[in-house]
């Protein structure tokens, strides 16, 4: 082999080694990162305790009634702006989540049961400050703390719930959930598998507590505070620019 060919081979090997040793990507000051993927909202159990259910004549027909909000999965997306190599600001959004709402109770003389009570949609915009521990690594774990604003919409009762409330003397019944503002905390990791593309895993706790109103003939009365306080799990793919 000629000296020139040996030199070319040596330089090629040295360049390949250098590329393999270099970080796959870094999230640096001034970068934007966008992500999108599957997000599941998993509320805690027993979101509202109602106690005993009675008729207009104060006859107890069921005990230990609770309202439970079921989990929901939707398309989530977020965008992060890197203020420094370590510090970023993230805005979380999503396509509306649709949650079923169950009423669980123990009828007098019968075993405990849960029945569909209603449903609602919600949007969870969340603004968080993030800190990255390893900005020079393709594996970038981070923590975040921020504020969430949950907006509820499209609340409606099931036909069985309408019959139940009408039997309790409520005419033309409906439900309403107020919007919620609360803290949000997260842990997550970005794995840059190219200079630009990444896979993201994220776990959040979001404080969501909403007043539940039961309405009849256009008049609404608060029956309690629904403490949803979910864990939120996301798997996303992202891009840095």
Asked if 118 and 175 count as a contact pair (C-beta separation under 8 A), the reply is yes
pLDDT of residue 205: 98
The per-residue pLDDT for range 165-184, each reduced to its tens digit, is 787 778 888 999 999 999 99
Give tens-digit pLDDT for 19-55: 344 444 477 899 999 999 999 999 998 889 888 777 6
DSSP 146: E
pLDDT of 4 over the 90 cut: no
Contacts of 25 (CB under 8 A, 6+ apart): 138, 192, 194, 195, 196, 198, 240
Contact predicate 66/90, CB 8 Å: no
Once rounded to an integer, what is the mean pLDDT over residues 181-202? Answer: 96
Please count the other Cβ atoms lying within 10 Å of the Cβ belonging to residue 59: 9
CB 92 within 8 A of CB 79: no
Distance CA 78, CA 238 (A): 9
Cβ pair 105, 63 in contact under 8 A: yes
Q: What is the pTM of this model?
A: 0.82
CB hemisphere CA count around 194 (13 angstroms): 7
Which of 28-37, 104-113, 228-237 bottoms out in mean pLDDT, i.e. has the lowest?
104-113
Alpha-carbon torsion, ordered 64, 69, 71, 73, to 10 deg: 170
Contact status, residue 118 vs residue 87, Cβ threshold 8 Å: no
**Domains by residue range for the chain, with CATH:** 27-240 (2.40.160.20)
């Amino acid at each position: 082999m000629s000296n020139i060919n040996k030199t070319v081979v040596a330089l090629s090997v040295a360049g390949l080694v250098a590329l393999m040793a270099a970080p796959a990507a870094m999230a640096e000051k001034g970068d934007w990162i966008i992500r999108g993927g599957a997000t599941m909202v998993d509320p805690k159990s027993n979101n509202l305790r109602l106690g005993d259910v009675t008729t207009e004549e104060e006859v107890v027909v069921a005990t230990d009634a609770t309202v439970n909000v079921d989990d929901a999965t939707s398309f989530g997306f977020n965008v992060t702006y890197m203020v420094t190599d370590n510090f970023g600001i993230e805005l979380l959004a999503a396509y509306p989540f649709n949650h079923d709402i169950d009423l669980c109770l123990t009828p007098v003389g019968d075993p405990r049961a849960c029945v569909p009570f209603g449903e609602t949609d919600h949007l969870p915009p969340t603004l968080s400050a993030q800190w990255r521990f390893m900005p020079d690594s393709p594996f970038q774990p981070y923590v975040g703390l921020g504020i969430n604003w949950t907006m509820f919409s499209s609340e409606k009762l099931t036909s069985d719930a309408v019959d139940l409330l009408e039997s309790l003397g409520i005419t033309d019944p409906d439900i309403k959930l107020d919007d919620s503002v609360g803290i949000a905390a997260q842990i997550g990791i970005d794995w840059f598998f190219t200079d630009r593309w990444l896979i993201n895993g994220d776990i959040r706790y979001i404080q969501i507590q909403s007043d539940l109103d039961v309405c009849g003939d256009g008049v609404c009365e608060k029956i309690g505070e629904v403490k949803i306080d979910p864990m939120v799990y996301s798997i996303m793919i992202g891009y840095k620019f």
